[in-house]
Structure 1
Amino acid sequence: MITPETLPRFREAQELALQLPRTGMIVTTDLADSLGGIHPGYKWEVGRRLALLALAGTYKQPNVVATGPVFRSLKVKGAVATLTFAPTGGRLVSKDGKPLTGFTVAGADGVFVPAQARIEGSQVLVSAPGVARPVAVRFGWHEVLQPNLFSDQGLPARPFRTNQPEARVSIR
């Protein structure tokens, strides 16, 4: 059955391929057209992002930023979840200058609700009214979301969830 989580789960499965040598992945969540298809209409931008991966990875070009923010860790203190991201060669920004979008949080009941998120230095702080102690955060976890968390290099953050199943598949 196809649900709004089908595409995010598919992206998560694709991410497993990054365990293989000489592989890469770009994010295109910001490039979807109004029809909601999975194939972005802005092919030139897809090509540009793939070229950045080749320049940084294969050709080892210094100072080439090839990926946007990638989730690394979650720390919870009270009602606030603090997210850290892998270095991107720049700083975290809201692409459109508006409050961050695409974040949801869940408490112990496991029910995800829309959350407010704000950038503080190299971290994102996430909370939601009614969630006294977050246990999980999701970002971009819906097939039609076009979240606005980016690097200042113009590359979007990779969607993620912190409540991933414990048993992860390992590709060898």
Structure 2
Amino acid sequence: MTALHAPATARNRDPIATVLAEVLPDSGLVLEVASGTGEHCAWFAERFPGVEWQPSDPDPEARDSIASWCADLANVRAPIALDAAGPDWPMAQADAVLCINMVHISPWEATLGLMTGAARLLAPGAALVLYGPYRRHGVATAESNEAFDVSLKQRNPAWGLRQVEDVTAAARGFVLERLVEMPANNLTLVFRRS
């Protein structure tokens, strides 16, 4: 197993954990969609030991990295293959869903699938937490985020920063509870299942 490393994780894990401490249940199962390297899952599992974590990623190399990062953590399940855009998720329920840095690095269909899948899994009142760079109507976007958006679209024209308002409109069955300004011009969006 090879543990991959994403430099941004060390910069954003504590601010994200601060928000999670306010919105996650004290116990239960949290599904992390698009866990990537697995570093976030490992960090949060240590900070929230009463919660069971289910990491996921469609990429086998990412799942291998997740398994490496989380190998010694008793409250982390083995990573599962989950394509957010796919109609069939390999889970029947969760007590919260977390998705970090996927919405902008995937086609819009993945965000739509995330909302549909999370709505199936979550009970009323449960949290869906999204983190990443977003655009907002009437709010200037940081130059660094504009440059990032250009680079994403050069890599894949279907990628790019999304409008908070579009993501919120796609979140059928959810209410946007709060929007939290984060370091490095990112946002955390906390939705609640209605």
Pick the TM interval, shorter chain.
under 0.3
Structure with greater proportional helix content: 2
Structure with the greater relative contact order (CA < 8 A, sep ≥ 6): 1 or 2?
1
The normalised TM-score by structure 2 is 0.26
The normalised TM-score by structure 1 is 0.28
